[in-house]
Structures are given as C-alpha cells and as structure tokens.
Structure 1
Amino acid sequence: MSALVQRVRDRSFRIGIIGLGYVGIPLALTACKAGFPVVGFDIDARRVDQINRGESFIKHIPTEAIASAIKEQRFRATTDFDELRDVDAIIIAVPTPLTKHREPDLSYVEATARAIAPRLRKGHLVVLESTTWPGTTDEVMRPIFEATGLKSGSDFYLAFSPEREDPGNPDFGTSTIPKVVGGDGAAALELANAVYSALVVKTVPVSSSATAEAVKLTENIFRAVNIALVNELKVIYGKMGIDVWEVIDAAKTKPFGFMPFYPGPGLGGHCIPIDPFYLTWKAREFDVTTRFIELAGQINTAMPHWVVDRIAEALDRQQGRGLNKAKILVMGIAYKKNIDDMRESPSLRLIELLEERGATADYHDPHVPVIPPTREHANLTGRASAALTPETVKGYDAVLIATDHDAVDYKALVAAARLVVDTRNACAKAGLTAENIVKA
C-alpha cells in the first residue's frame, strides 16, 4: 500500500476511466492537469476517434483542453479494454438509468464489471462513480471481481466516490468540488482517498462504500423534494394571483433557515429525475415506503401536463382557441440554461404532450441544432432547431419558454410573439412586462 500511495504522490500512478461522457471527460482532464497519465475507455469508436483527434463533443468542455492533453501525450482514448491491465486505477463513470417500470437499470455497471474482471490484477484500484443504490459496490461489483479468485482489500481495492458534476456551472468544476470517498475496507479507502486528494480541493472520507452511495442519493433527493415543493407552491400561489418567483426572491433575503429553490416545467438532467427512485426501489427490501420521494416524483412528473394546460388556457383567453392545430414554439430543448445537455429534458415531454393534443410543436435552441437519439423519445430524433427571427416567431400562436438560455433576446421575442408562456421567469429577469406574457 505504501508503494502504491507513493506512486500516486510521484504521479507514476496510471489512471483509467471507463465512460467518456459528461463525467468521464472532465475527470480525465482534471487527472491530466494534476500530472497523471490517463487512458480513457469507451465502447463508442466514433467518440474515441474524436477525442484522439483532440475534439470536444460537449459544448461546455473546450476543444483546446482535450487537444492540449492529447498533444502532450497525457491523455488518450481507446476501445481496447485489454489495456485495463496496464493502468493502476480503474474509475467507472457509466450511465445508471431507470427501466420503463422506474426500477434501477444496472446493466451498464454490470457489463463494465464483467469487462474488467478478466483483466483485473493484484494492486488494482477500482472505483465506481455512477450513482446507484446503497450496497451496489459491495453486493454487485465485488462478487463479480472476487469470482476471479482475487480478494477485495488484499489483492485489489474497491471503492465508491460519487460524481458531483454540474455541467455548465461557471463557479465549480471537477477539481474545485469536494469529493466524498468510501472504500471496501481501510486499505481501499486509503488508496482511493490518496488518488482523489491529488485531483480535487478536498476529500470527504466516509466509513463505507454504502455510506458514500447514500450521500449521493441524499443530495439529489433533497433537491427533488424541494423542487417539488416550490412547483406545488407555484400552482397554489398562481391560483391566488401571487407570483411564486417574487415570493422566493423575498424569502431568500432571510439570512438563516431558508434556501431558495425555483419551479420549472419539470425535472431534467442525469441526476434529479432518476436518482431518488434508486432509493425507493432499495427501500422495498427493508419493507419501508419512501412517501416523500414518491410524492415529490408525482408532483414533478405532473409539471409538463400542468404547463400544457396553462398554454391551452392562455390560448383560449387570448385567442379564443385551444391547442388543436395551434402552432407552438418551444424555446430551449436542453434541460437547463447555456448547455447542450438534453438528458431527461422536460422539453421533450412537453413537445410530445402538445402534439398529443393536436398542436404542431417546433423548438429553438442555440446550443442544440438537432435533437440526438434519446432513450424514451425516439420519435423526436433528428428534428432541427427552428430559426429565430421576428418573422418566424410571428407565425406561431404561442411561444413556450422551457429553458432560459442567455443567448436569447427576450425583448425581441416578446415584441414579436402573440403569446409567451414563461416557465422560467426569463422575461421578468430581463425586466420585461407585457400583456402577452403568462407565467407557468
């Protein structure tokens, strides 16, 4: 162990990262910047080739950062998993989605573990970063690895350290976010903590992998429940003629006891819409009902339906018509502002709901020119972003602001639109008030 830790300190410790996406790429670049040699592994040959050419496929990650790491031979990508034998740490950052029945889908994690197992050797550190239910590292990963005859804690070291990426956040990047680390035993924790201490500003060691897994779920459940609360308040206050955004902005002036969360058209991203249900599923094993989590899920899932009803109501009041045969422009297809990340974006569901009610729905997004393939919205694949000019905007019966990108000229949008339904308070933040603006 002391020899391994010393190799971490002198930067001869080789790091391998499986899964070169929104988590894996920032982590690889952070490790390169810290002085480690890094090999990235992915099953997507086109993505691997793009990385090796020094190109970025994620908007908020500069091409220059990848190109520099490749040019200086600190980073390279491969589809050859036999090279796992040559690295010292294997960090796993693969998707953990839900099934159609809202149960954990660990197929990517299990497939990755089975790919690692025949290449596992003595001295390897294996760290799972993918969000999952407490116990996955010990109950799913370890048996697959120990079936090789090697023992965790003596032959190899197994740990869990949850990713905390926030794509597009200008204030916090991978290296400046504290990292929670839990290991399968003291030796695994020592080695994993040594590695992450060299990468990030601070590590937070915890007593076990299961505890670290629970930390990640707790962070995202906290957000999901509080977003559900303000979404419910939005509906209640709206019926009372009270602006929920004004209420929240006033409440957050209290210097203690209040933390602002904001409503929206639904939940998006790779964490909040999915992660809470990993604990809901696991809780059944212990005969526990997760009522807060499930209620929050119901409220947040209902938001796209509420928004569509609000559009229909506004069209009826302003134009004397319903959604059938109406033309709607959805502003923003990414799940949050100023990025190109569409994972679980509520805009996709909004388009489907609008079209189910007979409307024609187009979208405009300055960061997403074409909708890529998604797991649950294959019917929207390939649709292109509509042009945004005063002339095109005038051709729509309503504009729905689903994502409040800064690149949009909201003053020009409101001036040209017949009706603007704003789910993000974007117009008010731009200082705009007009009779054709409706908050939803």
Structure 2
Amino acid sequence: MTATTGGPSLPQERRVVTAIPGPKSQELQARRSAAVAAGVGSVLPVFTTRAGGGVVEDVDGNSLIDFGSGIAVTSVGNSAEAVVRRASAQLAAFTHSCFMVTPYEGYVEVCEKLAELTPGDHAKKSALFNSGAEAVENAVKIARAYTRRQAVVVFDHGYHGRTNLTMALTAKNMPYKHSFGPFAPEVYRVPVAYPYRWLTGPERCAEEASAQAIDMIGKQIGAENVAAIVIEPLLGEGGFIEPAKGFLPRIAEFAKANGIVFVADEIQSGFCRTGQWFACEDEGIVPDLITTAKGIAGGLPLSAVTGRAEIMDAAHSGGLGGTYGGNPVACAAALGAIETMRELDLNAKARHIEEVMKPRLLELREKYEVIGDVRGRGAMLAIELVRPGSKEPAPDTTAALAKACHSEGLLVLTTGTYGNVMRFLPPLVIGEELLNEGLDILEGALAGL
C-alpha cells in the first residue's frame, strides 16, 4: 500500500466562517481555564477537530492554513495513512508491555531504521524514550557514563527541554526557566555563531565564535573535564539560527580531539525538515550521539538517542529506559512515518517548500524594513523582526503580526531569544497553493502593521 497523507479526506482550503477564535472555541476556552493549569499556554485558542495535509479545522468550522505542524511534529501530515494503518494494527494487538519487561519487534525495528538513517557508517545503537527533553537528558547520562566526566557544554540561544537538567541546558529564561530553579550543575554556556547579530559581521562569525567557544572551554572548564558538547545544528526556539558555515565542523573537530562526546540535538530539525534527513548533514557532521523526537512518529510521543555503539553501551544494564519509552503504538507510528518520508520523498518536498517560500520572504524583506533577516533551510524558515533602521528586536511587532495572520486563518508560530522571530514549519505534504496563499496573508498582515 502506498503511503499517503491524511489530507485528501479534508478539503485543502482556507475557510474562515467565524471570528478566530469562534464562539465554540471560546466556550471550550472557558472550560479549559477552569480545569487546565494556567502554566500550560497555547499559541492560538482555537480547538482542533480535524487536521490533515496543510490545514487544521476547528470546532467552529474554520479551516486554517498550517504553518506550524504542531511545532515540527506532523511533518508527514496529520493522520498520515501509513501512520494510522500501522498504529491502528498495533493498537488492536497490544498497547503496552514495557520493553524492559517483555520486549517487542517494533522497538527493535525503529532502532534498526535509526541506525540506517542517521549520519555515519559506524556501528550504531539506540534507546527510545517519550519526549525530546528525555532524549537529551539521556544523551548526557550516556556521555557521562562513557567519558567518566561531568561537565556539559551548551550554547547561547540553545533550547533543549523543560526537565530540570534540560532547563539548565536551555539558554532562555522566560518562559522556560523563570522561577523553576535551582538547576542541575556542571552546565557551561559558550557563544554560538549567530551571523545576523555577530558584532564584527557574518564573514568573521564562524571563525571568531568557534575560537571564543573553544577558548572559554579551555580556560573556564578544562576540555579534559567535558563529557559532552550539545548543540542544535539549526537552533530552534532560540530563533531558527543557522550557525555560520564552518562553526559546527570546528566545534566537532575540537570535541573529537579532546575525547568529548559531540551530541547533535535534531529534535526540531530532524526527519526531512531541512531538506535532508538531519540538519547536521549539511556540513558533513557525523555526531557521536544524535537526539530525535518531534517528526519521528507522525504525532505520537516518541524520542530516541542514537549513536556510536561503544558509547551507547557505556551505560550499565537497567540504567536506561522508562515505563513508556518506545511504546509499541508509537513505534508502529514511527515506522509509518518513515515509510511516508521515503515513499513521498519528503526531503525533496522540503527543498521545494524552500524554493517557494524563501524568494517570497526575501522579497518581503526588501519591501518591509521591519524584516531584518530571512534564514533557515527546507521547511524550517524564519524572519527576524526589528525596529526599522536598526537591529533592535521588535517582539511587540512580531506578536501583532502573528495575531493578524491568525485572524485571517494562517497558523504561525513565534520564537527567538528576544521574542522577535516568526518561524515557518509547514507540513512537508502541504500543497503549493496553500503555501502561496499563506504567504499572501503574511504580506497583507505586514502591510497592515
């Protein structure tokens, strides 16, 4: 059976029939306010009933163009046929046994696929978990077990999760860390090559940023004390920052020369999102460990740490795992998602999305001074908004732009350390007409600022 998306049963069109949010969503929002903790936020309080292809339909009958994919999760589309087929069959067979009690083939098969798909031809093994944060935390555990060292190096603008250790790894205070400390120790932050904001300009960014980072590691931590260097090859929550070319290879070479485990956090950028299976492939980086989640299972909760077999085997038996890690239904969904990615060649589709979107975004930058930078790869693109005539971040303008897009039926997400980046993460199966219509809405919203 050919892998298809869940989209054909859902009309692939924008439809705005009420105010957004509509009356039914507002009623549900009142119920939510009474029952759900206030700390759980939402970008747009419309309540979803169906989604597929490139649209999300709400309880009021509005159909929104989806430029968010549930934060890069539904890359294969929502309810993709192969995901539903495989997950449904597994659901009917058994929902759980705990791999640590009685194992099952699906977990093993997902690990085999990860060994095949991730960069490098060395022997690899994987361990499966539930969330991206859990994967990152276990990557640190594994690196510490392997190196017998404690220190972990992370980067400015990085995001790695909301657990105690991953909050320590994450750079941004609000909303991720504020009031939740104290955080885990032995975490050290160094500069990242952020071309748009590097003081001496983008041309010197990679060389200077890598030199500063390496110097700080040597002087402030000692390379011999570092267990792992953890970095997103294309930074997500920090603002879709694409490190200047040459930065990642220099950091990876430094790690290798000093016996440090190099961890690529591909939770947002992995699984065809940037036009390659993994973003680190763009500069030929072969990480020691790679963490994945989000796009791995078509919407079901699953994550993984994959890496060199000798590193992955450093943890003692029983040291890794969790009750739900590698749940059989989630594993079946992952196999369906990978099937879809291959059969529909979603790497090519991501590159095509870039070919459609990036020229339009660059045109908008020339037309509207508020857009300071356009960046990203594949279907992981962003614009950074600034005060006209400067590089001063413009978070209020960014929020207003997002609100204007939402009111017209375009679901967009904001991000960035300064709250001034609008990111675009459409499903990789979205149609070109919807892409262009979404860009038209964005342009209209910019004109109305």
Q: TM-score, normalised by structure 1?
A: 0.33
TM-score (ref. length: structure 2): 0.32
Q: Computing the radius of gyration over CA atoms, which structure comes out larger, 1 or 2?
A: 1
